Structure 1
């Protein structure tokens, strides 16, 4: 059975949104779940709807498509990006953001078919990776290589993890450890456990969260059991965090 691809269309021109919506509607695996007419609205709609893919115009006032995509890459669930624009000059910037494709207006049906095939392939590879992640009952532990030995740490004994310069710092119940593994890679490995990203540089074990304290501009401070320091929760993550924590 073909997996449904949930799509958000972003363009400040209504005609362009309607044209792309019509063309995408010809493909049964595509489900259009929303639209946005600005970069700012695109970020908010992505937080609310969590689409698989964002078809994103680039030349928009205030926050353009490249800037919007960069903001979305800080979210807990990062969508795939397809830039759909009249300007070829931004292609290099688009692929630095790891866009799946770059469509030029006016859209061609054959090019759009190729884009959808590419999206299906990327999503299929992502699903296979998720299936290979260990289950919560797995005996696998996090290996931390030191100068004299390899320490195996039970993920349930980790309070939080953060990135600082070239190192990833793992704060455990007993002590702290340093790793060179990127935070994004650790997040994928720890997906079966109770970890949640609260900031672009922080992962926390939800089992040890004790309090959330309102701060300013929609952000919060978070307290961890047994620790004196507080951690900052970015406003982009607070809704998802509360939905995970609260009954």
Structure 2
């Protein structure tokens, strides 16, 4: 028996991968991040015992996994988005390895990707930026000094900021140290959920707009010129550009 770490996607239950769905269908025990995972995802595991990890400690989660595997049961540990980003799964995997329990990671659609889809923008635009920075503002969980928001902002790259909308004034102030105050920014609450909410603005006015919209949690902050700018067309489909699979067309 084994434990599956499953990325449940950003919210829309149809964003669960086929592989994740199949793992849930065979799971006999499901431990899910109840504060963030859409409960509709659990409908893929109607026969399973279900535990909400929002009210559990790490030790309780690990104990439940060990008990289930010892009983010959398949466990699905369900995280929101993709579990490799702010999923706190490394400590779980390290423990399972220590006690010799087999596990597998099934990736999912992260909320920063669903947020880009919601605002219909591409993070990597030719001649604008080819870099995406995924980060968070320092809160109760510290960040290394070299990763402070203002220092990352020096790159003027596309940025996706997790777990920080409750500090939107501070976020905007830190970003404005390096980005222009007119830089576009978007806040997407519950990207891909049925009650998704989008607020757009600039670093100058986004804090006020977010407060007016009543957004203070479960939101992604996207910032960068990719949100609203002119750009060069990609070379990938340029008729004058040769690559491995296509010769340039002559005029």
Fold match, TM over 0.5?
Answer: no
- TM, length-normalised to structure 1: 0.25
Q: Which one has a larger percent strand, Structure 1 or Structure 2? A: 1
Q: Which has the higher contact order (CA 8 A, sep 6+)?
A: 2
- TM, length-normalised to structure 2: 0.25
